[in-house]
Chains A and B, each alone.
Chain A
């Protein structure tokens, strides 16, 4: 039995007879195609673009990681680290100031942290959302997994500090008892036109703790009211 070439079988099935015909031009065309090496110029250029773009992206990501800047979610407090490690052996939580580095430098100079020349200090934003001033240069924040602090208080943050100040003063100047506390806090919120803030009453009132205190928690948009020491 004759074994037929599969290509012959396929050719026999072809409904277009002219497809099985060959011409001298076909051989020429085939020879030209085989002789011509495939062009790699476009591919190489494309590789260069990809490599260049990748390098730029890597450098950009590295710069972002090292010098990523952020503002504090709680602008009322800052902390001064005594060492560039997380957690630090000792830290000092103090009220926020316009220049946190300067505020911490003061602690390094006046004997609170040291009585010596302050090292280079850098303001970061720690993972708790407050400004942490850490010994070290601009890279120290990224090394500890923090962002660099944006460098200045925003108008909103300054406004928030004023709000917290007024809230605390309102409740410390006189004895505000529990039934009046929410309204007193709401009045300060309204004065500063803060939208979306809530008030939480923590209770704890006793004859020895009959008056209320109030404090702002900016990162939660919350005003906390609790009992405070002392009788009216």
Chain B
């Protein structure tokens, strides 16, 4: 059973021993064969450098110096995933300190939890916003208390300024 599991892990990864010349690339030069190796990008179509094992994911390929390192890292990642609690929205809600989307920005994506803006140092600062892929509710007090913001906050909406009386008032947020 352990061998089968190991085989499954390896099946999702490409493992090849490849001595060769360095082929470090900048992020701007990333291509379809780009992979992250330790602290830089490499182009697998040119060279694997000292990497001998790669974990190929749809959005990112990460290579490792040894197969053992890769297996350990993947195991750690699975443990970390098990810790992950509330889901994240694919695109963030963006709150701006200034009107017309200026000033410091707080991006929020944690769904189904009470988001008190004071923990981000952003209490009573929101002057404009852009909603991501998930609907949010804005409240004037902490812990979803006070008044509920009645402006448009549906997914994809945005506002260069807040409704009258709501500038620098939002204290907590809930993202569906």
Contact = CB atoms under 8 A, between A and B. Distances in A.
B83 A97 contact: yes
A215 B109 contact: no
Given A98-B79, A224-B114, A77 B119 contact: yes
A20 to B, nearest CB: 82
A164 B107 contact: no
B11 interface: no
B107 A93 contact: yes
Interface string B112-133: 1111101111100000000000
Contacts of B104: 87-90
Contacts of B84: 95-98
B109 A228 contact: no
Contacts of B121: 86-87, 126-128
- Grouping DSSP codes into helix (H, G, I), strand (E, B) and loop, the A interface class, with mixed when no group exceeds half, is mixed
A146 to B, nearest CB: 11
A129 B119 contact: yes
B71 interface: no
Given A94-B88, A98-B84, A215 B112 contact: yes
Contacts of B106: 90-91, 93
B176 to A, nearest CB: 6
Contacts of A114: 27
A115 B82 CA distance: 27
A124 interface: no
Interface residues of A, number: 54
A77 B105 contact: no
B40 A76 contact: no
Given A77-B113, A217-B114, A99 B76 contact: yes
A148 interface: no
B80 A168 contact: no
B112 A77 contact: no
B164 interface: no
Nearest to A130: B119
Contacts of B156: none
A93 B108 contact: yes
B83 A96 contact: yes
A213 interface: yes
B107 A92 contact: yes
A98 B80 contact: yes
A136 to B, nearest CB: 16
Nearest to B114: A215
Given A93-B107, A172-B112, A224-B143, A117 B79 contact: no
Contacts of A220: 143
A164 B86 contact: yes
A39 interface: no
Contact of B116 (A79, A127, A217): A217
A77 B110 contact: yes
20 contacts: A76-B85, A86-B121, A87-B104, A90-B107, A92-B109, A95-B84, A95-B113, A96-B85, A97-B83, A98-B79, A98-B83, A99-B80, A102-B77, A106-B60, A115-B30, A158-B83, A161-B83, A168-B112, A215-B114, A222-B143
Interface of B: 26-28, 30, 36, 39-41, 59-60, 76-77, 79-88, 92, 104-110, 112-116, 118-122, 135, 137, 143-145, 148, 174, 176
Given A102-B77, A110-B60, 12 more contacts: A93-B115, A95-B84, A95-B109, A95-B110, A96-B84, A97-B83, A106-B60, A115-B27, A117-B40, A117-B41, A130-B119, A219-B119
